[in-house]
């Protein structure tokens, strides 16, 4: 029965799913509020109704009904009925250069997210932070998953990026007491913001050198504590730097990390990480992980590979840190500690090692779970670890491990439109 129901959907291209989702979220924007009211819900269930259901169990059928009426049924209907036109469009798009095809898909994806998030500022915030988590997880997966090291320094890289970008934007564009009057006009800032982020990423890369160079001679557990020591050092360094106000933290970052900006950077990050791990150097990473000596013997330049992985991973962690600072509009060395480390590690290993898909799934699911289980208060931090332990026991490498993200096959039409679909 389920198989029969599912069968027509196996031929829906990605584009078709996007169309379906777009219709569903548009429907929610148009008719969500009255429908929610009709069902006795106070507002549109913000994150698929999890917190409503946990808080007032009596509303569970209403929330489910709402989800069915707004998301599941319209999306399912549109996807199914629109499968063959979607395939037609996908086939037409497929003839264009890949960049164009991908851009159209991404624009559609952004439209879905934008319309969905537009219903509430809370959704926008959660989405921005989730996308940043995706970037962090991906960048850590390069080191921990693809290269197989156990690096603990990621919050440190993130802190370097966050502070560097914040100092630049506050110092140059905001009239803060700390750095004196703004020397550049804020109008210019929006264009120079990417530069600040990149510089933050570069500083993080520079920090990555301190972990990468010792990694020439050692690995595994020794590298783990080298990176851990690095994390302690960065935190202590920032606490002692008076010009970034030590433990008091820096506040007043301009509000430039809005949803389109964060989305664009995330896309850039996914794209570059995906290309990186599928390139020769990415294959070399796997070789180093599986057997360093053999890789060396097979003319893989292990030093270059290690340096590249650390610099690359640290760069994206730095950029993510910069974005994080501008979403929060406040940074404090306490934000980048052991707690943060445990969270990123959990996302990487939950989602799956050595896989771009896995990182995205891990970051999104842990972030959303953390929000959805809010009403449980303390017990949230018993449920989430338990879940992770179960995943580790039944899928030790994570949910979706060792899977390539092949953009071309992802965007391909699923059936030949000539067949009539």
C-alpha to C-alpha distance for 291 and 147, rounded to whole angstroms: 10
- 42 near another protein (CB under 8 A): yes
CB 369 to another protein: min, Å: 13
CB 400 to another protein: min, Å: 14
Per-residue interface string for the shown chain with another protein, residues 148-167, x marking contact by CB under 8 A: x-x-----------------
CB 325 to another protein: min, Å: 10
Contact 274, 179 (CB under 8 A): no
Q: What is the DSSP letter of 299?
A: T
CB 247 to another protein: min, Å: 5
Task: Give me 160's structure tokens.
Answer: 């370097």
Give me the residues paired with residue 330 across strands.
Answer: 251
Considering only residues 43 to 62 of the shown chain, the ones binding another protein according to CB under 8 A are 43, 46, 58-59, 61-62
Percentage helix, strand, coil, to 5, in the chain? 80, 0, 20
Stretch that binds another protein, among 108-116, 260-268, 297-305, 324-332 (CB under 8 A): 324-332
Distances from the Cα of 377 to the Cαs of 51, 161, 369, in angstroms?
11, 31, 13
Residue in 284, 309, 285, 277 with CA at minimum distance from that of residue 299: 284
Pairing of strands 250-251, 330-331: antiparallel
- 28 near another protein (CB under 8 A): no
Considering only residues 100 to 139 of the shown chain, the ones binding another protein according to CB under 8 A are 120-122, 125-126, 129
C-alpha to C-alpha distance for 130 and 367, rounded to whole angstroms: 6
User: Can you tell me which residue has the tokens 């914040």?
Assistant: 166
- Tell me whether residue 26 or residue 56 sits nearer to another protein (CB atom): 56
Considering only residues 361 to 390 of the shown chain, the ones binding another protein according to CB under 8 A are 370-371, 374, 377-382, 385-386, 388-389
Which are the contacts of 296, defined by CB distance < 8 A and separation ≥ 6?
302
Contact 95, 5 (CB under 8 A): no
Stretch that binds another protein, among 17-25, 88-96, 209-217, 273-281 (CB under 8 A): 209-217
C-alpha to C-alpha distance for 321 and 201, rounded to whole angstroms: 8
- 313 near another protein (CB under 8 A): no
Stretch that binds another protein, among 79-87, 180-188, 198-206, 333-341 (CB under 8 A): 333-341
- 291 near another protein (CB under 8 A): yes
CB 87 to another protein: min, Å: 30
- 217 near another protein (CB under 8 A): yes
- 10 near another protein (CB under 8 A): no
- 169 near another protein (CB under 8 A): no
What distance, in Å, lies between the first and last C-alpha atoms of the chain?
21
C-alpha to C-alpha distance for 93 and 14, rounded to whole angstroms: 12
Considering only residues 253 to 272 of the shown chain, the ones binding another protein according to CB under 8 A are none
Stretch that binds another protein, among 18-26, 92-100, 200-208, 242-250 (CB under 8 A): 242-250
């Amino acid at each position: 029965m389920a198989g029969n129901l599912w069968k027509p959907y196996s031929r829906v291209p990605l584009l078709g799913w996007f169309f379906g989702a777009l219709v569903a979220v548009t429907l929610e924007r148009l008719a969500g509020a009255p429908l929610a009211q009709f069902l006795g819900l106070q507002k549109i269930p913000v994150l698929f109704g999890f917190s409503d259901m946990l808080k007032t169990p009596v509303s569970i059928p209403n929330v489910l009904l709402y989800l069915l009426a707004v998301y599941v049924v319209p999306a399912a209907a549109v996807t199914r009925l629109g499968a063959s036109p979607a395939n037609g469009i996908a086939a037409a798009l497929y003839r264009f250069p890949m960049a164009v095809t991908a851009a159209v898909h991404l624009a559609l994806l952004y439209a879905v997210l934008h319309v969905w998030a537009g219903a509430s500022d809370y959704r926008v915030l959660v989405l921005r932070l989730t996308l940043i988590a995706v970037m962090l997880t991906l960048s850590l997966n390069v080191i921990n998953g693809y290269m197989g090291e156990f690096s603990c320094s990621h919050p440190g890289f993130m802190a370097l990026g966050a502070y560097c970008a914040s100092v630049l934007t506050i110092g140059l564009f905001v009239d803060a007491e700390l750095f004196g009057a703004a020397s550049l006009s804020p109008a210019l800032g929006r264009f120079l913001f990417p530069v600040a982020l990149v510089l933050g990423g570069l500083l993080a890369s520079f920090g990555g050198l301190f972990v990468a160079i010792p990694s020439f001679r050692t690995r595994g557990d020794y590298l783990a504590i080298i990176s851990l020591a690095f994390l302690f050092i960065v935190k202590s360094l920032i606490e002692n730097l008076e010009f970034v106000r030590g433990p008091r933290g820096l506040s007043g970052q301009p509000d430039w990390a809005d949803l389109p900006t964060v989305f664009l950077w995330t896309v850039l990050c996914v794209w570059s990480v995906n290309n990186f791990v599928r390139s020769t150097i990415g294959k070399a990473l796997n070789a180093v992980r599986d057997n360093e000596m053999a890789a060396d013997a097979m003319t893989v330049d292990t030093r270059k590979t290690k340096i590249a992985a650390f610099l690359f991973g640290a760069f994206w962690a730095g950029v993510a840190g910069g974005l994080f600072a501008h979403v929060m509009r406040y940074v404090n060395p306490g934000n980048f500690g052991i707690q943060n480390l445990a969270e990123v590690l959990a996302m990487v290993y939950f989602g799956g090692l050595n896989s771009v898909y896995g990182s995205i799934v891990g970051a999104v699911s842990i972030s959303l779970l953390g929000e959805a289980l809010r009403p449980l208060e303390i017990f949230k931090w018993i449920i989430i670890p338990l879940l992770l332990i179960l995943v580790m026991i039944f899928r030790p490498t994570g949910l979706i491990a060792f899977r390539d993200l092949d953009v071309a096959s992802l965007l391909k039409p699923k059936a030949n439109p000539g067949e009539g679909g």
